[in-house]
Amino acid sequence: MEILHVSAECYPVAKAGGLGDVVGALPKYQQASGHTAKVVMPMYRTKFLMDNEWDVVHKGYTNLGDWWFTYTVIKERTNKLGFDLYLLDINGLLDRDRIYGYSDDPQRFTAFQISVVDWISAWKHKPEIVHVHDHHAGLIPFMFRYCYRYKHLQNIPTILTIHNAEYQGWMGWDKSNYIPAWDEWKSGMLEWNNTINPLASGIKCAWKVTTVSHSYLDELKHNSNGLEALFEYEKGKSSGILNGIDTKVWDPAVDTYIQDHYSIEDYEEGKLRNKKILCDRFDLQIDKPLIVFIGRLVGEKGADLLPQAVGDSFYYIGRKMNFLILGSGFPAVEAQLNGLQALSRKDYSVYIGYNETLSHIMYAGADFILMPSRVEPCGLNQMYAMRYGTIPIVRNTGGLRDTVIDFGDPGGYGVRFNNTIVGDITQAIWRSVELYQRKEKMKEIREKIMQLDFSWETSVKQYLSLYESIVVQK
Ligand code: ADP
Ligand code: GLC
């Protein structure tokens, strides 16, 4: 089967979070299982672009409303990622340093999607499945179905995978001229709550919708930033497929970002060596459990509660643990976390910013990883952490609920708590500090989590049967 993925991110080309990891891995594993998977994404100005060689495979001319532009599709020459990677360039619009966060993002991603559809129109043999990810590619199913000039694409089955329904790509109706002329009777298929809503449009128009965990799909019917009724209405074509992790990249035995490798045979020494690197660098104490947080410092991740949770843990539990935080996001949270440094007694540190290498050393050297997420569609951090023998402390939500069982339950191996409130977080930290004292139990849990199977193979099969179900319908 030939699958084309359309996404705003793909690791290692450009990554802002888990979407990049997934789009960098899923096609590779689909390819490995005998299918042809390709990825097309915007051509940002990245190191990967500069460091690699490219062939121009297509040049096209299309429009965003009144603005006519040329776009270029380039292909990486050596199949470095294990699948065909295409970057789409629109001069001045996409070739920027960052992925998101520009005031003209609606124009950027709409022009990107129109160009992708325009490019597919030129393919001799069309892909059998077009798999779009999140709102940045959410208008494509609509364009296939209802834009007059793309009518010939309406039989190509589309799948929308939702990695995060908080962001929906809303645009005012004054931007409706961006979208190539469509059957006006179908305007409702673009709309939600009086705006053009690319995510909602994708949910309505894609042949199938998936979310990145089962629990997240259930939660979206009650909590999805305004789309609750739509998720309830479209539940018949929706399903949850849990993400996997790229076990070739995320493996403490071969991880290229860490220097001290280890495996299940020598993890105790291996983890300790990595912990020492972190303790030396951040002035922490090696004999106390090391609890880390890695992620975007935003409300979804419960990051705003971290400063008080750290303070309360020290106050109520005592200075029995170290904290190390890596992330960036809300300036106020960054400032509070920086401010806490003044209170450190060699037991707290923070690194504000994005640092791939440091994140890998933290997965390897930490004892626990804290994820107090309010919303967590899947969450990759807890799965990476477990593969490195680091115990997850997670809120009972979304993918965290589907991948972590509390160690108090039969067969359990993590620490779970129910509410994103400081009291629950602090209690979970207390339970973790107590657990850390039980050396035998720690050993049992670590050996168990390092061997849990979160590989992509299972998910690849589930996506495939979903694809097959709609290709047959055609
Ligand atoms: P999300 O996509 O919602 O941010 P995920 O858990 O799916 O959450 O994936 C987050 C990914 O981004 C992981 O690979 C994590 O290690 C990485 N990450 C997040 N913040 C940082 C950071 N500040 N530095 C390095 N890596 C980070
Ligand atoms: C999103 C979600 C995260 C998920 C990732 C990959 O960014 O917030 O929970 O793991 O996408 O699907």
User: 317, 319, 295: which is closest to 306 by C-alpha?
Assistant: 295
How far from 296 is each of 97, 281, 310, 376, CA to CA, in Å?
Answer: 19, 22, 17, 12
How many angstroms does the Cα of residue 78 sit away from the middle of ligand 1?
A: 27
In 10 A of CB 247, how many CB atoms?
Answer: 17
Strand-strand pairing, 348-352 and 322-329: parallel
**Ligand 2 pocket, residues with Cβ under 6 angstroms:** 17-19, 22, 163-164, 212, 243, 376-380, 399
Locate the ligand 2 atom nearest the alpha carbon of residue 399 and give its number.
9
Average pLDDT, the chain: 97
pLDDT of 258 strictly over 90: yes
Ligand that lies nearest to the alpha carbon of residue 162, given by its number in the listed order = 2
Nearest-CA residue for ligand 1 atom 21 is 295
Return the pLDDT at 388: 98
How far from chain centre, in Å, is Cα 220? Answer: 17
pLDDT value at 239 more than 80: yes
The closest residue, in CA terms, to atom 1 on ligand 2 is 163
Average pLDDT (289-305) is 97
Q: With beta carbons less than 8 A apart as the criterion, state whether 463 and 242 touch.
A: no
Ligand 2 centroid, distance to 336 Cα (angstroms): 25
Rounded to an integer, the average pLDDT of 150-178 is: 97
* CB within 8 Å of 212: residues ≥ 6 apart: 22, 161, 162, 163, 240, 241, 242, 243, 377, 378, 399
The single residue listed with the structure tokens 């209405």 is: 233
For position 131, what pLDDT does the model report?
Answer: 98
The distance of Cα 25 from the centroid of its chain, to the nearest Å, equals 11
Indicate the domain borders of the chain.
Answer: 2-244+457-473, 267-453
Check if the beta carbon of residue 257 is closer than 8 Å to that of residue 360. Answer: yes
CA–centroid distance, 468 to ligand 1, in Å, is: 32
Closest ligand 1 atom, CA of 378? 7
- pLDDT of residue 474 exceeding 90: no
Cα 250 to averaged position of ligand 1 atoms, centre (Å): 13
Comparing CA positions, the residue from 164, 184, 168, 166 lying closest to residue 176 is 184
> How far is 71 from 76, CA to CA, in rounded Å?
17
- Give the number of residues written for the chain: 474
Question: Is the pLDDT confidence value at 182 over 90?
Answer: yes
Note if the bond before 180 is cis, omega within 30 degrees: no
Q: How far is the CA of 163 from the centre of ligand 2 (A)?
A: 5
Q: Give the per-residue pLDDT at 472.
A: 63
The phi, psi pair for 28, rounded to 5°, reads: -65, -45
d(CA 469, CA 413): 36
Three-state SS for 196-249 is ECHHHHHHHHCCEEEECCHHHHHHHCCCCCCCHHHHHHCHHHEEECCCCECCCC
Task: Give me 304's structure tokens.
Answer: 């705003």
The answer to whether 20 and 246 are in contact (CB under 8 A) is no
Q: Which residue's CA lies nearest to atom 9 of ligand 1?
A: 18
* Rounded Cα gap, residues 15 and 46, in angstroms: 10
Per-residue model confidence (pLDDT) at position 402? 98
**For residue 163, how far is its CA from the centre of ligand 1 (angstroms)?**
13
d(CA 111, CA 63): 8
DSSP H or E run through 417: strand 415-417
Spatial distance between the Cα atoms of 308 and 339, rounded to a whole number of angstroms: 12
| Cα separation values, 386 from 217, 229, 393, 407, 460, Å | 24, 36, 11, 13, 21
Of the listed ligands, the closest to the CA of 356 is 1
Tokens of 198: 């690319």
C-beta separation of 441 from 435 below 8 A = yes
Record the tokens describing residue 213, joined without a space.
């965990």
DSSP string, 278-295: HHHHHT--TTS-EEEEEE
Ligand 1 is surrounded, with C-beta below 6 A, by 17-19, 21, 294-296, 326-328, 354-356, 359, 378-381
Residue 284 in contact with residue 349, Cβ under 8 Å?
A: yes
User: Over the stretch 338-355, which tens digit does the pLDDT of each residue have?
Assistant: 999 999 999 999 999 999
Specify the DSSP class assigned to residue 333.
H
pLDDT in tens, 298-323: 999 999 999 999 999 999 999 999 99
Cβ neighbourhood burial of 96 (10 Å; 0-12, 13-18, 19+): middle
**What is the pTM assigned to this prediction?**
0.95
Q: Which atom of ligand 2 is nearest to the CA of 17?
A: 7
Instruction: Say if residue 43's pLDDT is above 70.
Output: yes
Whole-angstrom Cα Rg for the chain: 23
Q: Would you give the distance in Å from CA 92 to the centre of its chain?
A: 27
Cα 347-352-357 angle, rounded to 5 deg: 90
CATH superfamily of the domain spanning 2-244+457-473: Glycogen Phosphorylase B; (3.40.50.2000)
User: Measured from the CA of 300, which atom of ligand 2 is nearest?
Assistant: 8
H or E stretch covering 350: strand 348-352
Question: Domain 267-453: which topology?
Answer: Rossmann fold (3.40.50)
Q: Tell which atom from ligand 1 comes closest to the C-alpha of 327.
A: 23
The amino acid at residue 92 is: G
Rounded CA separation 100/396 (Å): 29
Percentage of residues in the chain having pLDDT higher than 70:
99
Mean pLDDT of 363-386: 98
| Gap between the Cα atoms of 249 and 384, Å rounded | 10
> Would you place residue 75 in the very low, low, confident or very high pLDDT band (cuts 50, 70, 90)?
very high
CA distance 137 to 218: 23
Structure tokens at 365: 């050297």
pLDDT digits (tens, 9 = 90+) for 417-439: 999 999 999 999 999 999 999 99
Output the pLDDT for position 9: 98
Ligand 1 atom nearest residue 351's Cα = 23
